[in-house]
Structure 1
Amino acid sequence: MLNTTRMMKRLACASLLAVLAACGSAPVGPGFYRVERGDTLSKIARSNRQPVQNIVRWNNLTNPDSIEVGQVLRVAPPGNVASTGGAAGGSTRSSGAGSASASTAPRPAPADSAPSSAPASAISLIWPADGTVIRRFDGSNSKGIDISAAAGTPVVAAASGTVVYAGNGLRGYGNLLILKHNADYLTAYAHNRVLLVKEGQSVARGEKIAEMGDTDTDRVMLHFELRYQGRSIDPSRALPAR
């Protein structure tokens, strides 16, 4: 059964999704699948002719019993990963694991009330844009950092990952990208003028993914968030000093 508390804490898409994560209606890339209401991991595996353990491994799922509506899952082998043999869903749990219950728009997860408990040191980021930091993380009113620069300033991936959300369905974030880096960490990039990558796409650290803009805000800036297991933590703890 879907853990409601966990769902509320994650960005709705991969962990969104997992997390800030996003449930949108935009199509996903080849080899990926967006979880729909009523889906289970075993059902998804069967539909894509894969064993459940492959889906778990390819998506770094720490809890196969918890998938979320809108979460984007890899359902085909990555280029350098061989599929485990066996009929889909036939050799592992067939109990309706991870039943996704309610479809919702992506919502931000609550801020981390104890930032020191989240090991930001476990991930290393680069600055997602050049510019001036005009607002810092405080865990309450600001769940990330705001970087101001000229419209069109390149926005780059702070770390390698997969695009799990690309859209403007979350009020207050404008044109938003969410990248999943591993089972625990996501980064979010808001208020962009234009998005240059699509859901399901893999991006490299430092790759240009958007251009800075002022969508759903009153000035040109990038709002950048780092999330650990769905909870906002201070991005500056994982960024190099300036």
Structure 2
Amino acid sequence: MAIRQWIRMGNGLIWLPAIAVGVLLAGCTSTQKSSVGVVDRNHSGANSAVQRQPVTSGQYRVQRGDTLYSIAFRFGWDWKALAARNGIPAPYVIRPGQIIRFDGQPGQTRPTAVATAPVVTNPRTGSSVSSRPPAPPQQPPVRPQSQPQKTVATAPVSAPNTSIPRSAAGWVWPANGPLIGRFSSNGSLNKGIDIAGELGQPVLAASDGSVVYAGSGLRGYGELVIIKHSDTYVSAYGHNRRLLVREGQQVKVGQTIAEMGSTGTDRVKLHFEIRRQGKPVDPLQYLPRR
């Protein structure tokens, strides 16, 4: 004989077979457990470590500690393209509260008004000269002026270590240790490599360049150093215990720039990235073979 149970439906009671009761309850349970992920784009843009794909819409309000390089790194843009898109001239100063826009594709430029300097006549020679003062030399982007400089320990500048193996392009490994994470071109996976090591182990500059970011403002990277090697390439060194360089400092290949640590992650390791015109590339294609 089939087992039946009373089930309340609305204001009344009905008889249902036991198996039907089980199916009904299971359906209710699964409905309660299911959920739809919601992304707060307005909030995540300012606090997430880095966008996996270039952002081509929306805007970002500059926070204390930001530089043009760190914003470009975070949102997948080349720093030159981002400066051009927002009409930011050299020396690329940005300030807290300033709006950085990402509409369009990286590489597109936003038209900017160019003021023309008045032309005056030199009374001695009769020749025409411009009254515009000479343009200042180009400098790397700097922190917003209201941001106090972060105190970091600085390592003495040493001569390049010629004993470190280099690739044909002049790159060296940024740390000794086993490779525990490889680059992936998939949009949601690793955009660099991970090298295991000991706490406090030296982290080396992979090539000559200028430090354009040193801080912990990009969530997920911990204490981070970004080095500009040319108008094309930058490299990034994350999860350090201590930074030994500051923004604007020139570094040589093989120079110690930080101490390996576990800030922003669950183990001691170095996360290392190389970006070509703002796009992550596989560091193993640039580093010497082991």
- TM-score w.r.t. the length of structure 2 is 0.49
Q: How far apart in 2 are the matches of 1:19 and 1:169?
A: 12
- Answering whether residue 193 of structure 2 is matched by residue 134 of structure 1, we say no
Structure 2 counterpart of 1:143, one-letter code? K
Q: How far apart in 2 are the matches of 1:6 and 1:128?
A: 34
Structure 1 counterpart of 2:142, one-letter code? V
Q: How far apart in 1 are the matches of 2:231 and 2:58?
A: 14
Q: How far apart in 2 are the matches of 1:6 and 1:33?
A: 22
- 1:1-242 correspondence runs (5 A): 5=56, 13=67, 16-20=70-74, 34-36=93-95, 37=98, 51=135, 54-55=137-138, 71-72=141-142, 123-140=169-186, 141-242=189-290
**Percent identity among equivalent residues?**
47
- TM-score w.r.t. the length of structure 1 is 0.58
**Higher relative contact order, chain-length normalized (CA < 8 Å, sep 6+):** 1
**Deviation of residue 35 (structure 1)?**
2.6
- Contact 2:69/2:212 (8 A) holds in 1: no
Unaligned runs of 5+ in 1: 22-31, 44-48, 60-70, 74-120
Unaligned runs of 5+ in 2: 1-54, 60-65, 76-90, 101-111, 116-132, 144-166
Instruction: Please list every run of at least 4 consecutive aligned residues from structure 1 whose deviation after the TM superposition is greater than 2 angstroms.
Output: 4-8, 12-21, 32-43, 121-124
Q: How far apart in 2 are the matches of 1:154 and 1:41?
A: 47
Q: How far apart in 2 are the matches of 1:233 and 1:19?
A: 13
Distance 1:7 1:223, change over 3 A: farther
Q: How far apart in 2 are the matches of 1:152 and 1:16?
A: 25
Q: How far apart in 2 are the matches of 1:33 and 1:138?
A: 32
Alignment correspondent of 1:81: none
Q: How many residues are aligned here? A: 164
- Contact 1:15/1:229 (8 A) holds in 2: no
Q: Which has the larger radius of gyration?
A: 2
Q: How far apart in 2 are the matches of 1:157 and 1:139?
A: 24
